[in-house]
Amino acid sequence: MALARNPALPLVAAMVMIASSAWAAAEIVPPPNRGEQVVERKINASPNRDTQIGVYLNVKPDCSSGPLPTIRLSSPPSSGKVVVKRARLKATNYKACLALEVPAYVAFYKSQPQFSGSDAVTIEVTYPQGRTEIQKITVIVGSGNEQKI
């Protein structure tokens, strides 16, 4: 009963509750972005067939090739596999480059033979300049659904 007679106690209790709520909210804030960019996309694929899911290159402003990025499979697919191959990319009208031919990495997804449904893969691409891109790719596998990038 003594608590109800002191008018300052409810105010103090309210301030403690606000402070503890602010502290709890501060603890669940994610760490600051370290220059990572997250890209999400969906790709259709046929069962047991190689399907291109990404092309990775590094083109300098003078249209020459820079060092290729580092590619890491952060989260492998549960019903298939991912393979990365080296390639030469020929392109026209890419950024300020009217025509170029540069080395590149090409990522392919291949599902298990009888799989049909949705699969997911996460690829981390780190460029020499320090920029990192997290690619979350959903692959929808079903007969006749193949899609090329």
- The residue among 22 and 82 whose pLDDT is bigger is 82
pTM for the whole structure: 0.71
Per domain, the residue ranges of the chain are 36-141
Three-state secondary-structure class, residue 19: helix
- pLDDT at residue 129 in the model: 84
Q: Describe the strand order of the beta sheet including 70-75 as a list of residue ranges.
A: 36-45, 132-141, 117-126, 70-75
Q: Which CATH number fits domain 36-141: 2.40.50, 2.40.128, 1.10.150, 2.60.40?
A: 2.60.40
pLDDT digits (tens, 9 = 90+) for 62-98: 999 999 999 999 999 999 999 999 999 999 998 899 9
Q: Are strands 132-141 and 36-45 parallel, antiparallel or unpaired?
A: parallel
Instruction: Determine the Cα–Cα distance for residues 44 and 102; give it in Å rounded to an integer.
Output: 27
